[in-house]
Amino acid sequence: MITSDAITWNAANDDHPARAASQRSYSAVAKGDLAEWLTVYAEDAVLEDPVGPSMFDPEGRGHHGHEGIAAFWEKAIAPIATFEFEIDESFANPGSNTCANVGRIRTSFPDGSHTTTHLVMVYVVDDDGRVASMKAFWEPERTMASFTPA
Protein backbone atom coordinates (compact mmCIF):
# COMPACT_ATOMS: atom_id res chain seq x y z
CA MET A 1 0.00 0.00 0.00
CA ILE A 2 3.02 2.32 0.09
CA THR A 3 2.94 4.43 -3.06
CA SER A 4 5.59 7.03 -2.24
CA ASP A 5 9.38 7.04 -2.08
CA ALA A 6 9.07 9.39 0.92
CA ILE A 7 8.20 6.43 3.17
CA THR A 8 10.82 4.13 4.66
CA TRP A 9 9.10 1.11 6.21
CA ASN A 10 11.43 -0.84 8.52
CA ALA A 11 8.60 -2.55 10.40
CA ALA A 12 6.36 -5.56 10.11
CA ASN A 13 4.49 -5.40 6.82
CA ASP A 14 1.46 -7.48 6.00
CA ASP A 15 -2.11 -6.94 4.85
CA HIS A 16 -3.51 -6.03 8.27
CA PRO A 17 -6.32 -3.53 7.52
CA ALA A 18 -5.20 -0.86 10.01
CA ARG A 19 -1.57 -1.11 8.89
CA ALA A 20 -2.62 -0.86 5.24
CA ALA A 21 -4.76 2.20 6.03
CA SER A 22 -1.84 3.87 7.81
CA GLN A 23 0.36 3.28 4.76
CA ARG A 24 -2.30 4.74 2.45
CA SER A 25 -2.51 7.77 4.73
CA TYR A 26 1.27 8.36 4.72
CA SER A 27 1.40 7.95 0.94
CA ALA A 28 -1.36 10.52 0.36
CA VAL A 29 0.31 13.01 2.71
CA ALA A 30 3.71 12.52 1.05
CA LYS A 31 2.10 13.17 -2.35
CA GLY A 32 0.22 16.22 -1.06
CA ASP A 33 -3.10 14.73 -2.15
CA LEU A 34 -5.92 15.84 0.16
CA ALA A 35 -8.63 14.12 -1.89
CA GLU A 36 -6.81 10.78 -1.70
CA TRP A 37 -6.12 11.29 2.01
CA LEU A 38 -9.80 11.84 2.78
CA THR A 39 -10.70 8.53 1.10
CA VAL A 40 -8.60 6.79 3.76
CA TYR A 41 -10.83 8.21 6.53
CA ALA A 42 -14.41 7.27 7.39
CA GLU A 43 -16.95 10.08 7.08
CA ASP A 44 -17.24 10.29 10.89
CA ALA A 45 -13.55 9.75 11.69
CA VAL A 46 -11.74 11.58 14.47
CA LEU A 47 -8.09 12.63 14.04
CA GLU A 48 -6.01 13.74 17.03
CA ASP A 49 -2.58 14.95 15.91
CA PRO A 50 -1.15 15.44 18.44
CA VAL A 51 -3.38 14.05 21.17
CA GLY A 52 -4.35 16.88 23.52
CA PRO A 53 -4.31 20.65 23.12
CA SER A 54 -1.92 21.98 20.47
CA MET A 55 -1.41 24.74 17.94
CA PHE A 56 -3.61 22.71 15.56
CA ASP A 57 -6.36 21.98 18.10
CA PRO A 58 -6.32 24.43 21.04
CA GLU A 59 -9.11 22.62 22.91
CA GLY A 60 -7.61 19.17 22.32
CA ARG A 61 -10.85 17.58 21.12
CA GLY A 62 -9.61 16.31 17.77
CA HIS A 63 -10.73 16.99 14.21
CA HIS A 64 -14.10 15.43 13.41
CA GLY A 65 -15.36 14.16 10.07
CA HIS A 66 -14.05 15.02 6.63
CA GLU A 67 -14.66 18.74 7.15
CA GLY A 68 -12.60 18.85 10.34
CA ILE A 69 -9.89 16.62 8.91
CA ALA A 70 -9.64 18.78 5.77
CA ALA A 71 -9.33 21.88 7.99
CA PHE A 72 -6.47 20.13 9.84
CA TRP A 73 -4.82 19.46 6.47
CA GLU A 74 -4.90 23.17 5.64
CA LYS A 75 -3.30 24.10 8.99
CA ALA A 76 -0.77 21.33 9.46
CA ILE A 77 -0.03 19.62 6.15
CA ALA A 78 -0.58 22.06 3.27
CA PRO A 79 2.16 24.53 4.39
CA ILE A 80 4.84 21.80 4.39
CA ALA A 81 7.03 21.39 1.30
CA THR A 82 7.92 17.73 1.86
CA PHE A 83 7.28 14.93 4.33
CA GLU A 84 9.59 11.97 4.91
CA PHE A 85 8.21 9.11 6.99
CA GLU A 86 10.37 6.47 8.65
CA ILE A 87 8.46 3.75 10.47
CA ASP A 88 10.60 1.49 12.65
CA GLU A 89 7.92 -0.54 14.44
CA SER A 90 4.32 -1.46 13.64
CA PHE A 91 2.21 -3.49 16.04
CA ALA A 92 -1.09 -5.00 14.86
CA ASN A 93 -2.54 -8.17 16.31
CA PRO A 94 -4.25 -10.44 13.77
CA GLY A 95 -8.01 -10.18 14.02
CA SER A 96 -7.90 -6.69 15.52
CA ASN A 97 -8.83 -3.41 13.86
CA THR A 98 -5.93 -1.40 15.31
CA CYS A 99 -2.26 -0.83 14.72
CA ALA A 100 0.36 1.33 16.41
CA ASN A 101 3.28 2.65 14.37
CA VAL A 102 6.45 4.05 15.91
CA GLY A 103 8.76 6.28 13.93
CA ARG A 104 9.74 9.73 12.75
CA ILE A 105 8.43 12.30 10.35
CA ARG A 106 10.78 14.87 8.88
CA THR A 107 8.91 17.95 7.69
CA SER A 108 10.70 20.36 5.38
CA PHE A 109 9.43 23.88 4.88
CA PRO A 110 9.52 25.82 1.60
CA ASP A 111 12.61 27.77 2.75
CA GLY A 112 14.55 24.51 3.31
CA SER A 113 14.34 24.50 7.11
CA HIS A 114 13.03 21.34 8.74
CA THR A 115 11.94 19.58 11.91
CA THR A 116 11.80 15.94 12.96
CA THR A 117 8.91 14.56 14.98
CA HIS A 118 9.34 11.31 16.92
CA LEU A 119 5.94 9.78 17.51
CA VAL A 120 3.58 6.89 17.99
CA MET A 121 0.54 6.80 15.69
CA VAL A 122 -2.46 4.61 16.52
CA TYR A 123 -4.94 3.76 13.76
CA VAL A 124 -8.34 2.15 14.30
CA VAL A 125 -10.27 1.14 11.19
CA ASP A 126 -13.95 0.38 10.62
CA ASP A 127 -15.35 -2.72 8.91
CA ASP A 128 -14.63 -1.16 5.49
CA GLY A 129 -10.93 -0.65 6.32
CA ARG A 130 -11.27 3.13 6.57
CA VAL A 131 -9.73 4.99 9.49
CA ALA A 132 -12.30 5.67 12.23
CA SER A 133 -9.74 7.07 14.67
CA MET A 134 -6.15 8.22 14.39
CA LYS A 135 -4.22 9.36 17.44
CA ALA A 136 -0.69 10.67 17.08
CA PHE A 137 1.30 10.87 20.30
CA TRP A 138 4.09 13.45 20.05
CA GLU A 139 5.28 16.55 21.87
CA PRO A 140 5.26 19.84 19.93
CA GLU A 141 8.03 21.29 22.12
CA ARG A 142 10.35 18.39 21.27
CA THR A 143 9.59 18.79 17.58
CA MET A 144 10.26 22.53 17.70
CA ALA A 145 13.55 21.88 19.52
CA SER A 146 14.65 19.91 16.44
CA PHE A 147 14.11 22.92 14.13
CA THR A 148 17.03 23.28 11.75
CA PRO A 149 17.26 26.48 9.70
CA ALA A 150 18.01 26.33 6.00
The pLDDT, as a whole number, for residue 33 is 97
Alpha helices by DSSP H, listed for 32-124, are 34-40, 65-72
1 pLDDT band, cuts 50/70/90, is: low
Cα 81 off chain centre by = 16
> Which tens digit of pLDDT belongs to each residue from 54-97?
999 999 999 999 999 999 999 999 999 999 999 999 999 999 99
145 pLDDT band, cuts 50/70/90, is: very high
Q: State how far the Cα of 68 lies from the Cα of 61, in Å rounded to an integer.
A: 11
The pLDDT, as a whole number, for residue 53 is 96
Q: State how far the Cα of 55 lies from the Cα of 125, in Å rounded to an integer.
A: 26
The pLDDT, as a whole number, for residue 132 is 98
Short-list 112, 101, 99, 41, CA closest to 70: 41
The percentage of the chain sitting over the pLDDT mark of 70, rounded to a whole number, equals 99
Q: State how far the Cα of 125 lies from the Cα of 111, in Å rounded to an integer.
A: 36
On the question of pLDDT at 104 being above 70, the answer is yes
4 pLDDT band, cuts 50/70/90, is: confident
